[in-house]
Amino acid sequence: MNKNREIKISKFLSYVLRHKPESIGLTLNDNGWASVAEILKNRKLRFSLENLKFVVENNDKQRFSFNEDYSLIKANQGHSIEIKLEFQKIVPPEILYHGTAQHFLASILETGLEKRQRHHVHLSIDIKTASKVGKRHGKLIILAIDSQKMHEDGYQFYLSDNNVYLVNQVPANYLTVAMQD
């Protein structure tokens, strides 16, 4: 499959599984799972089960998961719609990272990282991963989060199926600028 087609399918899946399932008449269950058969019947973007498996298996951020028999698919995190995420609480590593753009920095340093329309703030285990996320939004800034101190202070952390650390918020006092492009 060519890269453009792969990206188009991935963006389509993100849109319908994380934000607007109703745009193709799709219904998600309480935990965000959708019928693979229903997705394959959509009229907006046609693709095969083999194409779908390829995108899920080769997505660089591992955004999606299948159930064991490939009859259901879900987005691993990043939802703006109400679903019941089944993440287990976890003790985070000492430091986590968040990639963002320079033009957001002043606001973030004032109010911290907020989940906004999503279920959680997304944090990365390393600078490389955080850089991939932050580069999409403009001139790159990498923030270091004192996740150990946050955890000690009572903040709950979770780990998604694709190894993204999740937290409800990161107050500004736990942030430092680790890198600027």
What top-level class would CATH report for the domain 3-75?
mainly alpha
Query: What confidence tier does 19 reach under pLDDT thresholds 50, 70, 90?
Result: very high
CA distance 13 to 75: 8
CA distance 83 to 75: 11
Per-residue pLDDT at 31? 87
Other beta carbons within 10 Å of 111: 11
Half-sphere exposure for 45 (CA within 13 Å, toward CB): 16
Q: Which residues pair with 143 in a beta bridge?
A: 98, 177
97: Cα separation from own chain's centroid: 14
Contact residues for 46 (Cβ-Cβ < 8 A; gap 6+): none
% of the chain beyond a pLDDT of 90: 65
**Dihedral pair phi/psi, residue 66, rounded to 5°:** -100, 160
CA distance 179 to 161: 27
pLDDT tens-digit readout, 48-86 = 999 999 999 988 777 898 999 999 999 987 788 887 767
Q: How would you list the strands of the sheet with 165-167, edge to edge? A: 89-90, 157-159, 165-167, 121-123
What top-level class would CATH report for the domain 90-180?
alpha beta
- What's the pTM? 0.65
DSSP string, 80-105: SS-----PPEEPPPS-EEEEEEGGGH
Are 53 and 39 contacting, i.e. CB atoms less than 8 angstroms apart?
A: no
Instruction: Report the chain's mean pLDDT, rounded to a whole number.
Output: 90
Locate the domains of the chain by residue range.
Answer: 3-75, 90-180
Of the candidates 113, 177, 173, 168, the residue with the CA atom closest to the CA atom of residue 139 = 177
Q: Do domains 3-75 and 90-180 have the same CATH topology?
A: no
pLDDT tens-digit readout, 117-163 = 777 899 999 999 899 877 777 789 999 999 999 999 999 999 887 78
Are 133 and 63 contacting, i.e. CB atoms less than 8 angstroms apart?
A: no
